Structure 1
Amino acid sequence: MRSTRMALAARSFSHAPWRRGWSYRRGSLAGEQCAPRMAFTCTAPKAGPQAFEVDHSRDAFIVSVARTPNGCFRGKLADFSAPDLGAIAIRAAMHRANFDPALIDEAFFGNVLSANCGQAPARRAILSAGLPASVVCTTVNKVCSSGLKSVMFGVNSLNLGYADAVVVGGMESMTNAPYYVKKPKDKMTKEQIIQSLEPGGLVDGMVMDGLWDPYGAYLMGNIAENLARRMNITREEQDNHATRSYSSAARAQSLGNFANELVPVYPKDSTAVDGSVNFAENCEALLSSDEEISNFLRVDRLPKLNPAFEENGTITAGNSSKISDGAAALILASGAFVKRHNLKPIARVLSQADVELPPAEYPLAPARVIPVALQRARMDAKDVDYYEINEAFSAVSIIVNRMLDLNPAHVNLFGGSVATGHPIGASGARILVTLTSVLRQTSGTIGVAAVCNGGGGGSALVIERMS
């Protein structure tokens, strides 16, 4: 019996994912306290877009992407719950993947403001999208990194051989985040509870669970203000960055750069809400492009806006990301699945990484995690063609560009969350979706997606364009 177990163990080890193109290494970046002590690193790709190679059987490939437009707070998507929006993005991604949804094994979907979304939001989105009940579903909450962390969980399942095809992404309806009332210790009716409310008795769920730092007891914007002051980032720099973000997004929208990722949203009572590109005739889309970008026409007002977090602060509503509603979805598949079904993948995932810093330093997290992710891919910054780094605040983007000495022309080419909006549970996935568009339309090869999150965390993913 013992010899049988040993033989099985040896066989399992020889077929483990890290035995096929992965190497195990100890160590950390010089001077990088946040780097893990142990890491898996992927074999570095050759230069230039690679034709699909059959020996990458357990590598994770991006097969299709889709996202809803981002709606403004209390805007055109106000009637849609997060699972509603997630279902639209998932259906569109499955339609574009062009294989039987019954082949999907698992789903990881980000959602931060889950209160009042109903039980298991990811499960609701998957079933509403028409996928079979056999799909294993997990809702992920890593604040602003939720969408990207969901992708990372999907990649892990593929690398380890636990799944062959997965749905990943994120969704959020910040508009529909409820207010909270603490339950009284004594038994009371709803009417009595409402009558007994004191000023401040209602807690804004969006702020409490999404935008509030519980460690310092202040808003995420206050942390960004502190770091902007510490790093001598001026109001003018931030307003200039915001103007650049709006102009880049407006230009991308006018040129159709988002066409391969966006799926229109139709009224809920319309039969056309199927997430695909084939809609019922004579049905007008409710929203087909990011709603906030139209405010580019008013960027001349940026210098006139009052500070949002401190009386003499530099961060305003104009140079910050916008509270939004939206969803993004990606279909990932293993190399073996791609070959078996003759799929044409968009990109291959080369590496991923997470770091954690003190909560009051969360804006620095992208600058810390990107080198770790590149190290795991056996790459340097010079190998990267384009970056998508979430613009929580213009100050965050300026800090990261400065710390990593990045060329702004290669960061957020189609604009960022300042202009397109920041539905917090979806943005991590949204930036990855847009990164695939950037690489395809510029013939770039290597891209990095990175995002910071409340609590001091940051996540990053390195991809290689395939087609």
Structure 2
Amino acid sequence: MSKINNKVAVVAAKRSPIGVFKKTYKDVDLVSLSSELIDKMLKEIKLDKDLIDEVIVGTVLQGGRGQNIARQIEINAKISNEKPAYTVDMVCGSSMKAINLAKNSILVGESKVILVGGVEFMSDANFMYEDGLFCSFSNASMGITAENIVEKYKLKRSELDKFSLNSTKKAIEAQEKERFKDEIVEIFGVSKDEFVRLDQSIEKLGKLKPVFKEDGIVTAGNSTGLNDGASFLVLMEESYAKKMGFEILAYIDDVVSVGLDPNYMGLGPIYAIDKLIKKNNIDISSIDLFEINEAFAAQALVCINELDIDEKKVNVNGGAIALGHPLGATGARIVTTLIYEMRRRKVNKGIASLCIGGGQGMALLVGRD
């Protein structure tokens, strides 16, 4: 098909509340969780499911879940079985890569409407540990890569704990002020993120022992957790969205990916964001808001410092240390959170970025004009 000289619009973006390991969603499968979210999202914008051209879903822990999770979700959500669906695994970048693929499909004219997102059900992770939570090259846990960053940048435990507490404080404030109300869909009676530690304190963080290395400083408190959740968006060719009368929430302006040393995978956002701003000939200071995934306080802190970003622009409603990190859903989740905060503040440019196990990084540019 001929290339369409158009932009890729976001007309819907919703997510489930993020669940705690083996808690609310422990008896729910990831297909049902996703289907419930999708059904409610599409009803809200009054989108006829027959208009969807394809479905792309990112997820990581796939072992034992049957063929092509995206197809299972599509059929379970009662989207036409004549429409294609495929699953993407790029570890933590899975759903952001899915968005990238959807964007490209629209730009080259293959599709006009794509349902895209990600899901992760980590409550089963203890049965599938080596399937996605350990580095394929060093066989080390992702926490060791955070300890590598600690050593490289000579970070202190107090810095990590302070960063983590600040993330939690921002998340608590966001919940109290209902800043997530437009992005979260109540699923199976759950209406808010469960992982936020309301009683967190610097004293409690300081008492936690290192998890990954005997003499290390990376703890459960300054790392994200094992979480369940789903996040989906509807992307449309801009002219089609306008023709059909859908409200445009934002635009996916660009997406980039990079590779780096797997032992320092947490630094991925540094290289990805640098590539993104250079490719688009923009100054990093012109970006209004950032969502940089907090896999670990160590890597997130270094990324912010090395990029010389004003910390007041980053993860303003808390990051993954506070909210949780359902691997395959996180890319779509941080894009969704970014879009709604940009709209709330009436700002025009935002970047979502994350590190990726195995030594990669991604960054996505969101625009509102």
What band does the TM-score fall into relative to the shorter chain? over 0.9
Among 69, 72, 84, the residue aligned to 2:32: 84
Residue of structure 1 in register with 2:178 after alignment: 256
Secondary structure at the aligned position of 1:328 is classed as: strand
* Matches of 2:100 and 2:286, distance apart in 1: 21
Q: Relative to structure 1, is the Cα distance of residues 233 and 377 closer, same or farther in structure 2, using a 3 angstrom cutoff?
A: same
* Matches of 2:157 and 2:198, distance apart in 1: 18
Residue 222 of structure 1 pairs with residue 144 of structure 2: yes
Residue 100 of structure 1 pairs with residue 2 of structure 2: no
The CA deviation string for residues 38-75 of structure 1, in whole angstroms up to 9 with x for no partner, is: xxxxxxxxxxxxxxxxxxxx311110111000100011
Residue of structure 1 in register with 2:21 after alignment: 73
CA shift, 1:178, in A, is 6.4
Among 327, 336, 341, the residue aligned to 1:424: 327
CA shift, 1:130, in A, is 2.1
Secondary structure at the aligned position of 1:246 is classed as: helix
Aligned AA (2:22): R
Residue of structure 2 in register with 1:326 after alignment: 229
Residue of structure 2 in register with 1:400 after alignment: 303
Alignment of 1:119-134 (within 5 A): 119-134=67-82
Aligned AA (1:335): E
TM norm structure 2: 0.97
* Matches of 1:178 and 1:227, distance apart in 2: 26
Residue of structure 2 in register with 1:191 after alignment: none
RMSD: 1.3
Alignment of 1:134-149 (within 5 A): 134-149=82-97
Residue of structure 2 in register with 1:298 after alignment: 200
* Matches of 1:149 and 1:296, distance apart in 2: 33
Residue segments in structure 2 that go unaligned for 5+ positions in a row: none
Residue of structure 1 in register with 2:280 after alignment: 377
Aligned AA (1:296): L
Aligned AA (1:167): L
CA shift, 1:217, in A, is 1.9
Alignment of 1:202-281 (within 5 A): 205=128, 207-266=129-188
* Matches of 2:365 and 2:118, distance apart in 1: 18
Secondary structure at the aligned position of 1:429 is classed as: helix
Residue 437 of structure 1 pairs with residue 340 of structure 2: yes
The CA deviation string for residues 422-447 of structure 1, in whole angstroms up to 9 with x for no partner, is: 11111111100100111011111100
* Contact 1:69–1:265 (CA under 8 A) maintained in structure 2: yes
* Matches of 1:178 and 1:122, distance apart in 2: 23
CA shift, 1:159, in A, is 0.6
* Contact 2:37–2:187 (CA under 8 A) maintained in structure 1: no
Residue of structure 1 in register with 2:238 after alignment: 335
Aligned AA (2:154): N
Among 383, 386, 407, the residue aligned to 2:289: 386
* Matches of 1:228 and 1:238, distance apart in 2: 9
Secondary structure at the aligned position of 1:298 is classed as: coil
Secondary structure at the aligned position of 2:132 is classed as: helix
Residue of structure 2 in register with 1:41 after alignment: none
* Matches of 2:42 and 2:340, distance apart in 1: 17
* Contact 1:168–1:330 (CA under 8 A) maintained in structure 2: yes
TM norm structure 1: 0.77
Among 143, 151, 160, the residue aligned to 2:99: 151
* Matches of 2:28 and 2:124, distance apart in 1: 8
Aligned AA (1:250): I
Residue of structure 1 in register with 2:210 after alignment: 307
Tell me the percent identity: 33
Aligned AA (2:215): N
Secondary structure at the aligned position of 2:257 is classed as: strand
* Matches of 1:236 and 1:148, distance apart in 2: 32
* Matches of 1:89 and 1:465, distance apart in 2: 25
The CA deviation string for residues 109-148 of structure 1, in whole angstroms up to 9 with x for no partner, is: 0110111222211111122222221221010000000011
Which 4+ stretches in 1 moved above 4 angstroms?
none
